[in-house]
């Protein structure tokens, strides 16, 4: 599903040049659950942003389902993103002014799904995430675990092929964290490919494969049994 | 999708109350001001449009050469319309109309004055009116009167008045033959009573062949597409051909002034139609646009200032697949929603203040709901405001990169700081311009009002004269004196602040051969200078039986070049007259021009106004009661109508006073909107700096030390705005003042005052905000960090 080759990303300021990704190459197959680990500043988040088409690489190739997307313009990237990729963030990133229902509904609006169908889909997903009873609440009225469940619901509402999770349990206690990891595992078992950036060895154990990074490069890959 | 945008917009408005309040208040004021000005402009532009032949009616003006100065005037000769209609195929109709007056109509025991025009039978072929009773043909009958609906009701209480007789000026009887609907208030040629010229009088017969004397107005209805320039030339040729000798009219030129320009382009200079009210219409249209733009700028500033709050939302939306276009649309929808809310509130404000606004303008301003264009304009105002106000924030906010925003490396507002500073500076430039303009307009008004007039307008009462009053003038004078309240009495042909007419026929020994001197003149009785409070430069005031005496003003003597004028003879109107004295120059007609030559002729038989000088310190109300008693004794056939001379003089400033008041109101609104914006910006700036303020406080900063860094940024911008605005204001107001011969000099003091006003307003706005933050408990914001 994902094939990156010699991917480079360099951040430049007037005085300093920081190499975030240094000729990085790896592949993620459809249905895989991959965890990316490494110390702070090793390039994990940069990688996730590029995989999520939120950022451009400076060099290298990025094939998504066999299509080279590294040179896509913003409109094409937005289009590809909304139909294929779901995001789960450490800080949930829910829109404070929207209710739980409306937050989850948002990706469907962008993909042009009709209101009646949207309602049905959102209710199904909220049911599945056991958050239906909070559908009219605003994010600030929910606990961290509940907020992350909403974020996961929003990430999957469009049935994306790929879910990118950036430290999804980073702001949660262990019980809520486990719950979220179980949700991701379930989604993966249903066929969704997942790439997760994490600091937690515990969370990484939920994945099929761990890619370990250092200074913008892959240093080791562990296949989980 | 749109519903989703509006939903978010509503929730944002609710959550950010200060932001919403400032924005909605600013936009409401901006829109209300725009709507009011728009309604006024619409009203001004609607003048005369009810006339069927609006596009094809022309007012005939003559450019006349007076002492080398071209004066454009509508006074035309009586035979012109008939001759023009007969000679020029492009002239469909031509009508003659006098300048109007307010004769006294007596119906039973009712005595009522009504605005009356005297005209030829073609009147209704040129000007439109809706007949309730009778028809346009009645003007063929010299004894007929056409009255308006309200006049008929005032006379008889109803409109079925055909055949009723009315006494005119206590003399002839006339019969009402037609009733028309009241003419719209926005008509230039307006009447309450219309009467035909009396064709049986010798004056009428004489006037029919008089191509020299001009005392009426002439209007042409021309065929569509007629060549107006050629018609102007042909009209002048016609006058030249028929005039017995060369005169000021034949030496000049003719202008056909179209009806569409009568209201707004009413001024002539050097023989050309140069504009007039249109300047103010344009000026205030700009003021409206500027106020609305200031409100839009507020919106832009506040929206970008709170970008940090919206950045996360933008990042999330982009991550979820929203394109930039969708975000642009979202933010524009938000500002359009705000514009709609502001418009609803503005409409309410307009509805509430419209009567007072109409009163201020002395015009009946209505909202033309049935006019389709108004709805288009309303929609345009909402959309344009929404789009202009929302455009910059939309472009700015939608440009955020989700990676930076969601990663937290986004620096809120920094990127937008320069445009925001430019916008705040621009707002203050406009405010300073408006305050400067307002102050200078007021200075000019005060300058002219306090001008040495050459007569004393205080304690001087003008009573309308009549044949009966004139016959009994001596008795009136004696009775008034015996009241002990009146110092002196004289009669004049017009109020002394207005010249009665112009003449070119003065002859004097030593006059140049080609003497073309045209000077203003008026008639007066004895005790003139004493009564009006004028000073004699030499010679003496008119005394009883000073028949064949004249008084010149100093300017006239200067122009005529007469040495030692007192006692010398001149010849005028077929009589030799002695110069009794020279009066100091008086301000007549326009108070904005320098003194022009004038002659006052002793004439015992011509009195339109009786001037009564009250003794110093008398109780005016008591004096008026006494004066009324005297007049009701000696002038019972006429109503007692009086005016105070100071009020008559003040009428000359109506236009400028209005402009001053409008400028004051709208600049105050503009400044208020600016301050709202500044207030909002500061609120956000302080919110961002709450930690800094708290740390400074913990480290021992005093209130002043806290206020200074917060104020400094804005004070620098205001200083910059001042430097930009002052030269612009100086130049613009110098141009405006050039319209007046008698004008104030722009002093640096005005700008110092403007600077102080702006600083004071800004400082109050800043202090209100900053001191609130500075006085807050530092622990709170540090803990929240």
Chain A contact present for B8, CB below 8 A: yes
DSSP bridge pairs for B72: B63
Structure tokens at B175: 């019969």
Inform me whether the C-beta atom of residue B404 falls under 8 Å from chain A C-beta atoms. no
Query: Hey, what are B323's tokens?
Result: 């394109």
Residue B407 near chain A (CB below 8 Å) = yes
Give the chain B residue nearest A84 (alpha carbons): B321
Spacing of C-alpha A11 from chain mean position:
22
Nearest of B296, B251, B317, B484 to residue B390 by alpha carbon: B296
B2, B10, B11, B320, best to mutate vs chain A, most A CBs in 10 Å: B320
Residues of A in contact with B315 (CB under 8 A): 93
Choice among A28-42, B220-234, B274-288, B348-362 with the minimum mean pLDDT: B274-288
Could you tell me if residue A92 is left (phi over 0), alpha (psi between -120 and 50 degrees) or otherwise beta? left
Q: Do B321 and A81 touch (CB under 8 A)?
A: yes
Interface check for A9 against chain B (CB to CB < 8 A): the answer is no
Phi first, then psi, for residue B248 (nearest 5°) are -60, -30
* pLDDT value for B448: 82
Give the pair of three-digit tokens for residue B280. Answer: 């103010």
What is the token pair recorded at A106?
């948002």
**Predicted pLDDT of residue B743:** 87
Which tokens is A178 given?
Answer: 């486990």
Answer whether residue B60 shows pLDDT above 90: yes
The count of CB pairs under 8 A between chains A and B is: 68
Mean pLDDT along residues B254-275: 91
Q: How far apart are CA B713 and CA A21, in angstroms?
A: 42
Taking the Cβ of residue A107 and every Cβ of chain B, the question of whether any pair is shorter than 8 Å is answered with yes
- Distance of alpha carbon A206 from alpha carbon A211, whole angstroms: 13
pLDDT tens digits along B554-611: 999 998 989 999 999 999 888 999 999 999 998 887 787 778 889 999 998 888 899 9
CA-to-CA dists, residue A194 to A52, A150, B225, angstroms: 12, 17, 80
Q: What percent of chain B has pLDDT over 70?
A: 94
Q: By CA distance, what is A86's nearest residue in B?
A: B320
Please check whether residue B312 touches A, CB under 8 A: yes
Domain locations in chain B as residue ranges = 2-43+279-447+654-782, 57-262, 460-652
Q: Band of the pLDDT at B169, cuts 50, 70, 90? A: confident
Cβ within 8 Å, pair B8-A83: no
- Alpha-carbon distance of B153 to B173, in angstroms, equals 19
Contact A75 B7 (CB under 8 A): no
Long-range pairs, B237-243, Cβ under 8 A, ≥24: B238/B80, B238/B83, B238/B84, B238/B87, B239/B77, B239/B80, B239/B211, B242/B79, B242/B83, B242/B211, B243/B211, B243/B212
Q: What ipTM, to 2 d.p.?
A: 0.77
Cross-chain Cβ contact A107/B321 below 8 Å: yes
Residues of A whose CB is below 8 A from B317? 95, 106, 110
Whether B693 contacts B400, CB under 8 Å: no
What long-range pairs does A175-178 form, CB within 8 A, spacing at least 24?
Answer: A175/A145, A176/A143, A176/A144, A176/A145, A176/A148, A177/A203
Q: Tokens for B585, please give them.
A: 């120059």
Position B132 confidence tier, pLDDT thresholds 50, 70, 90: very high
**Distance between CA atoms of B610 and B489, rounded to whole angstroms?**
7
Structure tokens at B360: 């201020």
Give one DSSP letter per residue of A20-77, joined into a string.
EEEEEEEEE-TT-EEEEE-STTSSHHHHHHHHTTSS--SEEEEEETTEE-TT--HHHH
CA angle (A41, A43, A44) in 5-degree steps: 105
CB count, 10 Å around CB of A132? 16
A82 inside 8 A of chain B by CB: yes
Closest CA to A123 of A132, A134, A136: A132
Can you give the pLDDT at residue B785?
37
Predicted pLDDT of residue B784: 44
Q: How far A165 CA lies from chain B's nearest CA (Å)?
A: 13
Instruction: Kindly report the number of other CB atoms within 10 A of residue B282's CB atom.
Output: 13
Closest CA to B587 of B655, B648, B497: B497
Per the model's pLDDT, the better-predicted residue between B693 and B758 turns out to be: B758
- CB spacing of A87 vs B320 below 8 angstroms: yes
Q: Does A132 touch chain B (CB under 8 A)?
A: no
B313 with A45: Cβ contact below 8 A:
no
Identify the CA nearest to B737 among candidates B442, B430, B433, B360: B442
Q: Which of A88, A106, A110 is nearest to A97 (CA)?
A: A106
Number of Cβ atoms within 10 Å of the Cβ of B609: 23
Q: Are B460 and B645 in contact (CB under 8 A)?
A: yes
Question: What pLDDT does B415 receive?
Answer: 57
Rounded CA-CA distance B545/B66 in Å is 33
Contact call for residues A49 and A85 (beta carbons, < 8 A)? no
CB contact under 8 A, B4 and A102: yes
**pLDDT: is B370 or B585 the higher one?**
B585
Which of B55, B47, B28, B31 is closest to B377 using CA atoms? B31
Contact B773, B695 (CB under 8 A): no
Supply the pLDDT for residue A79: 84
Cβ contact, residue pair B15, A97, below 8 Å: yes
Q: Give the three-class secondary structure for B387.
A: helix
> Do B320 and A106 lie within an 8 Å CB cutoff?
yes
Q: B406 and A93: CB-CB below 8 Å?
A: yes
At a CB cut-off of 8 Å and minimum separation 6, what does B325 contact? none
Tokens (6 digits) for B573: 């109107």
Residue of chain B whose Cα is closest to the Cα of A93: B316
CB contacts under 8 A, B 252-311 vs A, are: none
Q: Give the Cα separation of B348 and A201 in Å (integer).
A: 64
For B710-754, what is each residue's pLDDT tens digit?
777 778 888 899 999 999 999 989 988 887 878 889 989 889 988
What pLDDT is attached to residue A225? 59
Is the pLDDT assigned to residue B27 strictly greater than 70?
A: yes
Is B328's Cβ below 8 Å from some Cβ in A?
no
B143-147, B362-366, B411-415: lowest mean pLDDT where? B411-415
> Is the minimum CB–CB distance between A97 and chain B shorter than 8 Å?
yes
Neighbour count for residue B189 (Cβ, 10 Å): 21
On the CB side of B326, CA atoms within 13 Å amount to: 22
Which residue pairs, CB below 8 angstroms and at least 24 apart, start in B268-271?
Answer: B268/B61, B268/B63, B268/B71, B268/B72, B270/B70, B271/B63, B271/B70, B271/B72
For tokens 């200031």, what's the residue? B294
Which among A78, A95, A96 is the nearest to B321, CB-wise?
Answer: A78
- Residues of chain A where predicted confidence (pLDDT) is lower than 70: 224-225
Q: Is the Cβ pair B313, A95 closer than 8 Å?
A: yes
Give pLDDT, residue B67: 64
Q: B174 with B128: CB under 8 angstroms? A: no
The tokens describing B309, both together, are 């709050």
A87/B319 Cβ within 8 A: yes
Strands (DSSP E) contained in B30-172 are: 57-66, 69-73, 91-97, 104-107, 110-113, 116-119, 131-133, 144-148, 165-168
Check CB contact of A54 with chain B, cutoff 8 Å: yes
What distance in Å separates the CA atoms of residue B263 and residue B384, rounded to the nearest whole number? 30
Residue in chain B lying closest to A105 (CA)? B4
pLDDT band at B767 (very low <50, low <70, confident <90, very high): confident
Paired with B106 in beta bridges are: B111, B167
Q: Tokens standing for B357?
A: 């606004």
Beta-carbon separation of B324 and A74 below 8 A: yes
User: Does B2 score more than 90 pLDDT?
Assistant: no
Helix, coil or strand: residue B612: strand
Give kind and range of the element (H or E) at residue B550.
strand B549-553
Q: How many CA atoms lie within 13 A of A49 on its CB side?
A: 22
Q: Which distant-in-sequence residues (6+ apart) come within 8 Å of B137 by Cβ?
A: B121
Mean pLDDT of all residues in B663-692? 78
Has residue B3 got a pLDDT over 80?
no
Backbone angles phi, psi at A153, to 5 degrees: -55, -45
- Model confidence over B505-548: pLDDT tens digits? 788 888 877 676 778 899 999 999 999 999 999 999 999 989 89
What is the b/e burial string over A22-32, where b = at least 16 CB atoms within 10 angstroms of the residue's CB?
A: bebebebeeeb
pLDDT of residue B778: 60
Tokens of A84: 């294929």
Sign (positive/negative) of CA torsion A97, A103, A108, A114? Answer: negative
Read off the tokens for B670. 């503009």
CB of A111 within 8 Å of a chain B CB? The answer is yes
């Amino acid at each position: 599903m994902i094939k990156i080759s010699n991917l480079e990303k360099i951040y430049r300021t007037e005085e300093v040049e920081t190499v975030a990704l240094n000729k990085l190459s790896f592949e993620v197959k459809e249905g895989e659950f991959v965890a990316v680990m490494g110390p702070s500043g090793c390039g994990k988040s940069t990688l996730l942003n590029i995989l999520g088409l939120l950022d451009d690489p400076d060099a290298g190739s990025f094939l998504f389902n066999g299509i080279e997307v590294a040179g896509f313009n913003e409109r094409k990237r937005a289009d590809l993103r909304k139909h294929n990729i779901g995001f789960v963030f450490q800080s949930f990133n829910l829109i404070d002014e929207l209710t739980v229902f409306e937050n989850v509904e948002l990706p469907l609006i962008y993909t042009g799904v009709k209101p009646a169908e949207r309602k049905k889909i959102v209710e199904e997903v909220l049911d599945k995430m056991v958050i239906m009873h909070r559908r009219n609440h605003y994010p600030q009225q929910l606990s961290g675990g509940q907020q992350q469940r909403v974020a996961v619901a929003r990430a999957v509402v469009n049935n994306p092929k790929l879910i990118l999770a950036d430290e999804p349990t980073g702001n949660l206690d262990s019980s809520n964290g486990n719950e979220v990891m179980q949700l991701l595992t379930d989604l993966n078992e249903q066929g969704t490919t997942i790439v997760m950036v994490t600091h937690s060895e515990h969370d990484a154990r939920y994945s099929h494969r761990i890619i370990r990074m250092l200074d913008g490069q892959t240093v080791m890959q562990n296949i989980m049994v | 999708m749109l519903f989703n945008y509006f939903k978010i917009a509503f929730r944002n408005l609710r959550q950010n109350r200060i932001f919403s309040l400032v924005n909605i208040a600013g936009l409401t004021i901006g829109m209300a001001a725009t709507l009011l000005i728009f309604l006024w402009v619409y009203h001004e532009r609607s003048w005369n449009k009810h006339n069927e032949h609006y596009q094809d009616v022309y007012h005939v003006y003559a450019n006349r050469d007076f002492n080398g100065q071209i004066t454009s005037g509508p006074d035309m000769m009586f035979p012109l319309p008939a001759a023009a209609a007969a000679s020029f195929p492009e002239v469909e109709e031509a009508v003659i109309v006098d300048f109007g007056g307010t004769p006294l109509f007596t119906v039973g025991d009712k005595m009522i004055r009504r605005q009356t025009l005297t005209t030829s039978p073609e009147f209704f072929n040129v000007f439109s009116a809706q007949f309730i009773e009778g028809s346009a043909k009645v003007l063929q009958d010299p004894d007929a009167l056409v009255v308006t609906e309200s006049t008929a009701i005032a006379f008889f209480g109803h409109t079925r008045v055909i055949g009723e007789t009315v006494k005119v000026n206590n003399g002839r009887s006339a019969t009402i033959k037609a009733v028309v609907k009241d003419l719209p208030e926005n008509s230039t040629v307006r009447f309450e009573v219309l009467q035909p010229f009396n064709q049986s009088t010798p004056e009428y017969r004489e006037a029919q062949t008089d191509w020299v004397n001009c005392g009426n107005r002439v209007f042409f209805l021309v065929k569509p597409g007629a060549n107006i320039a050629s018609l102007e030339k042909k009209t002048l040729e016609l006058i030249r051909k028929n005039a017995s000798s060369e005169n000021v009219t034949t030496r000049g030129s003719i202008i056909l002034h179209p009806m569409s320009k009568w209201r707004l382009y009413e001024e002539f200079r050097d023989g050309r139609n140069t504009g007039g009210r249109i300047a103010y219409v344009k000026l205030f249209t700009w003021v409206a646009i500027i106020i609305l733009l200031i409100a839009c700028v507020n919106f832009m500033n506040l929206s970008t200032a709170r970008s940090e709050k919206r950045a996360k939302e933008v990042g999330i939306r982009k991550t979820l697949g929203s394109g930039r276009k969708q975000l642009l649309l979202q933010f524009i929808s938000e500002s359009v929603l705000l514009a709609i809310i502001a418009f609803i509130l503005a409409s309410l404000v307009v509805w509430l203040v419209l009567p007072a606004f109409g009163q201020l303008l002395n015009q009946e301003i209505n909202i033309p709901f049935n006019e389709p264009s108004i709805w288009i304009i309303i929609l345009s105002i909402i959309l344009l405001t929404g789009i202009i106000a929302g455009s910059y924030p939309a472009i700015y906010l939608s440009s955020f990169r989700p990676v930076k925003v969601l990663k937290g490396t986004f620096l809120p507002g920094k990127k937008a700081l320069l445009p925001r500073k430019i916008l705040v500076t621009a707002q203050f430039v406009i405010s300073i311009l408006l305050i400067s303009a307002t102050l200078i307009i007021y200075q000019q008004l005060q300058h002219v009002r306090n001008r040495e007039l050459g007569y004393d307008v205080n304690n001087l009462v003008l009573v309308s004269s009549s044949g009966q009053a004139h016959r009994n003038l001596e008795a009136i004078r004696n009775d008034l004196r015996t009241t002990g309240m009146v110092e002196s009495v004289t009669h004049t042909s017009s109020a002394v602040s207005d010249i009665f007419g112009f003449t070119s026929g003065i002859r004097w020994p030593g006059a140049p051969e080609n003497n073309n001197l045209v000077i203003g003149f008026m008639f007066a009785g004895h005790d003139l200078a004493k009564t009006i409070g004028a000073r004699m430069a030499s010679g003496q005031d008119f005394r009883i039986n000073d028949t064949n005496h004249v008084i010149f003003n100093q300017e006239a003597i200067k122009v005529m070049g007469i040495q030692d004028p007192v006692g010398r003879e001149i010849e005028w109107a077929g009589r030799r007259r002695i110069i009794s004295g020279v009066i100091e120059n008086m301000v007549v007609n326009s108070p904005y021009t320098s003194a022009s030559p004038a002659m006052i002729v002793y004439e015992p038989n011509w009195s339109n106004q009786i001037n009564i000088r009250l003794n110093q310190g008398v109780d005016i109300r008591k004096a008026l009661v006494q004066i009324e008693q005297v007049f009701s004794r000696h002038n019972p056939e006429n109503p007692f109508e009086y005016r105070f001379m100071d009020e008559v003089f003040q009428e000359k400033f109506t236009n400028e006073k209005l402009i001053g008041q409008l400028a004051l109101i709208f600049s105050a609104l503009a400044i208020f909107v600016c301050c709202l914006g500044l207030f909002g910006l500061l609120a956000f700036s302080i919110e961002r700096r709450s930690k800094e303020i708290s740390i400074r406080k913990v480290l021992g900063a005093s209130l002043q030390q806290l206020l200074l860094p917060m104020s400094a940024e804005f004070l620098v911008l205001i200083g910059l705005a001042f430097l930009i605005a002052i030269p612009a204001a100086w130049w613009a107001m110098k141009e405006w003042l050039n319209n007046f011969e008698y004008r104030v000099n722009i002093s640096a003091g005005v700008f110092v005052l403007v600077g102080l006003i702006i600083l004071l307003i800004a400082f109050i706005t800043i202090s209100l905000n900053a001191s609130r933050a500075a006085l807050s408990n530092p622990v709170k914001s540090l803990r929240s960090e």
